[in-house]
Structure 1
């Protein structure tokens, strides 16, 4: 008898890896160095941009948000790639959240997508400032900057929501729901 689900342990112990290379000490060390240096560098960017009043501009507001998103991405690299085995699931809501947030890598995807959106926001802000300098002060007001930042955070959280629904807890084990699952059907009904 075949099943239509794969447990996370059976499918791929290393997460989204192509081969077992993610398990090597060299690759884990590189992920650790990237994660810790990313966290340190982005924390330093936030510290400097917040502490130095002369650096507070519209661009720096977007760069601070970008640094926060990059900090979170660097932070989540460490547990996902240095310790690929998730702790055992507990019963109840905490097990569901562990499966859907951690094992599905939803939170890593959220931080990566937010980083991309803030990079686009910085690019567009700089484009308007350079190409249309007379419109810049009229368009990039404090309200508009806050609105764009809030939209980047919201869209960053909602864009990878699919990962939240393609994993489920069955018999105390987190399982990947391959196509076609109820999550896939829900997404295609919305489209």
Structure 2
């Protein structure tokens, strides 16, 4: 830490022409304006998502706990990283001193790690919910959820501490990029490759494996259900009307619960794919066009990278009616109407029902015992 304290603030006096010098002023101005818009959308969208999930009990399930962590990481990215990106586009260099030159990339890489690990934890939650439902109540207890979230933050930032103190690479001004990034230390070591493998490749592979398994389980389940329905129809003459009606109602409830879980799973997949779409272009640009022959390609990559911090709330609105209702309630409804979101009528309208999820894919809620007084009269199940 002594190196950090002694790090001087005279970077701007020794800067060299950066890759930004190869871009036209109009292109850089456009990039600065778009980054500013992304920052505003990201700040408001992520903050609104956190407020909506905290205020509306029926969307405060296990996945929502990880989504709140993801939103906080994206909010911090917009608040603490994007202003310096706008400044970089505008001034074409770094002019904020040496201490910030270390802290800003530390925050940038840390928030990216938290975002991807949060997506991985949400995907793992979906996988256990669908493929190993009997484990769900044991795995997703409150203290386990808290430990998972704390781990994602401590791991993402903790693995960068050696770089921050200069013993495994260092955060410093990169004259070629015109900004602060990870550079080799005095011994020529850098944490970039290891960080890319541990914090990006491994979680991405985990996510892909989980989704492959999820799709297989869902496909097999649908085949079994179709076979079960055909068997029921073929033997319908042997059943009395009341038994047939009860069976039909149960099948409809199970189908509704499975459909709701599948919608959430598809939303998480969209979040992961958007993460890849936002991060791959700038990675490809740095590798395929290291000498910046195509400036537009690089600017587009930067803007997509920054857009990753604001795109998730848009996905929630487009793909999930429950989140749309929660947003509307957080924006427009007084507290008395927000409590109305705990009613069963609202649940059924948007696909939630405790009876449904107990008979199929249980929707474990962080506040279930408080939100639904009938829970104490329900048959005993796994502890939550």
Q: TM-score range by the shorter chain?
A: 0.7 to 0.9
Between Structure 1 and Structure 2, how many residues are aligned? 167
- Name the counterpart of 1:184: 189
Residue 153 of structure 1: how far off its partner (Å): 0.6
Partner secondary structure for residue 49 of structure 1: helix
- Name the counterpart of 2:143: 143
CA contact 2:35–2:86 (8 Å) conserved in 1: yes
- Name the counterpart of 2:70: 66
Alignment of 1:8-27 (within 5 A): 10-11=15-16, 13=18, 19-20=22-23, 24-27=28-31
- Name the counterpart of 1:101: 103
Q: Write out per-residue CA displacement over residues 54-108 of structure 1, whole angstroms, 9 at most, x where no aligned residue.
A: 222111111110111111122234222111244453xxxxx5x323213xx2211
Quick check: which has more Rg, 1 or 2?
A: 2
- Provide structure 1 residue ranges, at least 5 long, that are not aligned to the other structure: 1-6, 90-94, 170-174
Partner secondary structure for residue 83 of structure 1: helix
Cα separation, partners in 2 of 1:38 and 1:110, compared to 1, 3 Å? same
- Provide structure 2 residue ranges, at least 5 long, that are not aligned to the other structure: 1-10, 174-179, 193-384
Alignment partners' CA distance in 2, 1:67 and 1:36: 14
Cα separation, partners in 2 of 1:168 and 1:119, compared to 1, 3 Å? closer
User: If the length of structure 1 is used for normalisation, what is the TM-score?
Assistant: 0.72
More helix by share: 2
Q: Write out per-residue CA displacement over residues 150-190 of structure 1, whole angstroms, 9 at most, x where no aligned residue.
A: 00010111233455231469xxxxx9895451472899xxx
User: If the length of structure 2 is used for normalisation, what is the TM-score?
Assistant: 0.38
Cα separation, partners in 2 of 1:72 and 1:125, compared to 1, 3 Å? same
Q: Which moved more, 1:65-74 or 1:79-88?
A: 79-88
Residue 139 of structure 1: how far off its partner (Å): 1.0
Q: CA RMSD in A?
A: 3.3
